[in-house]
Structure 1
Amino acid sequence: MKLLVIGGSYFLGRVFVMQAAGKHDITVVNRGTWSLESLGVKQIKGDRRDDALWRQIEEDVDVIVDFCAYEKGDIARVLRNIRGTVKQYLFISTLDVYERGLGGMKTEDAPFETRVFPGEAGAYIAGKVALERELREVCGEMGIACTVLRPAFIYGPFNYAPRESAYIQLMVQNHALPHITDAEGTFQFVYVKDAAEAAIQCLLNPAAYGQAYNLCQDQTVTYEAFYEALCMAADVEAEELPVTAEAAQNMGIPLPFPVTAEESELSSNEKSKRELGVSYISFQEGMARTYRAFKGVYQSQP
């Protein structure tokens, strides 16, 4: 199967390429920050906003897997300029596309958020919502099958975002683990290898054509459960550092997950398990694997 992967050198895209390499003929298009040639894939360097980049791709492609579309026009630019034919477009979106405040477990047919929130997070949500609509419109015009994956907070090896890795770094290097004592938020995770496997299961899968899938583990998580999972995963002495959310912010400790109950939004993973056969590892096991991966990184740093 010929895959054109957009992104592919960071986190989920990187893990997807690692898991799919050797089984598929993969070309990766990205800015070339990290070389992927050791994985046996072809790499094209360039800016996805450059129309000429896509015009140089003349071979037919079975599936485009897009990990880094964020702004309206990103998908249309690819499909309107690429020279070869495309059978399927797999777009990595986010659970954040759903309307806030609906309550309960959101399924894939929940309404999109129509409000535009301020800041970088607001722009990210608005961009993903616009791109999901753009995907269906352009693919419909061109007769291309499309599939959307909506992951929760992705965690695991290679995560460059200062989320779980920031806490593991404090444990390994400072021997301290922040314990947020007053947070009431509830949130969901998906382990990076599970998300990558879900993407693989979508490739030229007729059952996935025209579908969207929520990707999240069975467990809902709180800051307390997050703290406990890290304690159980750790094999170094780390002193508990009890702090309120406000104090953590003042100390520069990241609070990457919802802190309040009002911020909490939850989604159902039943469709991904039923139709794609995704089996999610437990949060505790995923965090143990993540801890081991990052421990080696931070121990090697001065």
Structure 2
Amino acid sequence: MRGTAIPQAVQRRAAASSRCLAVSVRNDSCLIVNTKGGGHAFLGLHLAKKLLSDGHKVTILNDGDEAKLSAKAPFSQYASLDGAQVVWGSPADPSSYPEGSFDVVYDNNGKKMDDCQPLIDHFKGKVKHYVFVSSAGAYAANSVEPMHVEGDKRKSSAGHVAVEAYLEEQGLPYTVFQPLYIYGPHTAKDCEQWFMERILRDRPVPIPAPGIQLTTLSHVEDLADMLAAVPGNDAAVGQHFNICSDRCISFDGIVKSIAAAAGKEAKIVHYNPADMGLAKGEGFPFRTVHFFASSDKAKRLLGWKPQHTFKGDVEQLVKDFQASGRLDKQPDFAVDDKILAAVGYKAEAMA
């Protein structure tokens, strides 16, 4: 029996569709320059995973000593990156850079010119896209309009800002991403864990008053997805993007969300940090004022949208913490006790 002839119009549409698919598939060579510690370290791991799944070639240049770091998270997970090449060296030393050419360079390491300039100078004129992972912490605080939007005033004293200016001055096809607080698997720095240490032990949680300050907690996979939208995306060139969730949550809300997921009763004790004589960063893991940002620009220009929310993830986050073994260790709560004593919280109420 003879087959049915396919109409020419259908054939033309199919051919056009095939051509569109052909040009949308990319296979760029990407270099991720990754930091050896802090809250951004696991961003490199998840970005590598996403780029590989999108069909790109990935090389990681990790700052630091492999012998000292490779057994720790997130670096202990590099073996799971099937197809990625991992090189250990110093981003400030071009002699340690991996051989070969790269289409896209992601600098997820540097915070100041001394760390970043050698990398920028080395790859100037050699890459299609240069990505700098900066920080939303470089925004100047604004008590009138606290939500940070791209283009808002940046602190001239911040090292990141000097690097951003240098990228523009040198004429690189750059993109700057500005992350806030990041959570998710294989982190090297506490985020939600600080709250869980107290809630899961039925301890009071000291929260800077009034507790309704808003912040943005963003899942690392969402941020990796945004960064991975760069290869081949001309709309990203010359742009700054806040790299964060499209939701924010209050300090008290973090406590209550975790407590509900753990089946606990939240014990929140508010205090005024100015009255405590605490050093910078002491007593609380976040800035004690509003610190949140808009991700609308990434949605418009990069076609990005988040797949996670903190409230949607919190039950799994609690389970992960419980399975981590941290509850078998005794943290130092001396600063907590100092705060609680200063506000008159009775020690017996902690039982």
After TM superposition, is the score higher than 0.5? yes
Sort the Cα spacing of 1:300 and 1:18 in 2 relative to 1 into closer, same or farther, 3 A.
farther
Aligned partner of 2:101 in structure 1 is: 60
Matching of residue 207 in structure 1 with residue 235 in structure 2:
yes
Unaligned runs of 5+ in 1: 117-125
Aligned partner of 1:270 in structure 2 is: 296
Q: Secondary structure at 1:135's aligned position in 2? A: helix
Matching of residue 279 in structure 1 with residue 305 in structure 2:
yes
Q: Give the CA RMSD over aligned residues.
A: 2.9
Sort the Cα spacing of 1:292 and 1:205 in 2 relative to 1 into closer, same or farther, 3 A.
farther
Matching of residue 183 in structure 1 with residue 206 in structure 2:
no
Matching of residue 106 in structure 1 with residue 148 in structure 2:
yes
Aligned partner of 2:43 in structure 1 is: 12
CA distance in 1, matches of 2:138, 2:35: 22
CA distance in 1, matches of 2:47, 2:272: 34
Q: With a CA cutoff of 8 Å and minimum separation of 6, indicate the structure with the bigger relative contact order.
A: 1
Q: CA deviation at 1:226?
A: 0.9
Aligned partner of 1:28 in structure 2 is: 60
> How do residues 78-157 of structure 1 correspond to structure 2 at under 5 angstroms?
78-81=119-122, 85-101=126-142, 103-104=144-145, 105-114=147-156, 116=157, 126-138=158-170, 140=171, 144-157=172-185
Aligned partner of 1:44 in structure 2 is: 87
CA distance in 2, matches of 1:253, 1:231: 23
> How do residues 218-297 of structure 1 correspond to structure 2 at under 5 angstroms?
218-234=246-262, 237=264, 240=267, 242=269, 244=271, 254-259=283-288, 263-280=289-306, 281-297=308-324
Q: CA deviation at 1:257?
A: 2.1
Q: CA deviation at 1:77?
A: 0.3
Q: CA deviation at 1:181?
A: 7.0
Contact 1:37 1:43 in 2 (8 A): no
Sort the Cα spacing of 1:253 and 1:269 in 2 relative to 1 into closer, same or farther, 3 A.
same
Q: Residue 106 of structure 1 aligns to which amino acid in structure 2?
A: H
Q: TM-score, normalised by structure 2?
A: 0.70
Q: Secondary structure at 2:249's aligned position in 1? A: coil
Contact 2:91 2:116 in 1 (8 A): no
Q: Residue 168 of structure 2 aligns to which amino acid in structure 1?
A: R
Contact 2:204 2:266 in 1 (8 A): yes
CA distance in 2, matches of 1:231, 1:171: 6
* Bigger Cα Rg: 2
Q: CA deviation at 1:6?
A: 0.6
C-alpha deviations, 1:17-49, integer Å up to 9, x for none? Answer: 233335321111112322523312111111222
C-alpha deviations, 1:160-183, integer Å up to 9, x for none? Answer: 2233112223344x3435253733
Unaligned runs of 5+ in 2: 1-27, 71-75, 330-351
CA distance in 1, matches of 2:131, 2:142: 28
Number of residue pairs aligned between Structure 1 and Structure 2: 280
CA distance in 1, matches of 2:139, 2:232: 26
Most deviating of 159-168 and 40-49: 159-168
Contact 2:252 2:268 in 1 (8 A): no
Matching of residue 162 in structure 1 with residue 185 in structure 2:
no
C-alpha deviations, 1:177-205, integer Å up to 9, x for none? Answer: 52537334322222211111100112231
Counting aligned pairs with the same residue, the percent is 24
C-alpha deviations, 1:199-243, integer Å up to 9, x for none? Answer: 0112231111111111232333221111111123225x5673635
Aligned partner of 1:121 in structure 2 is: none
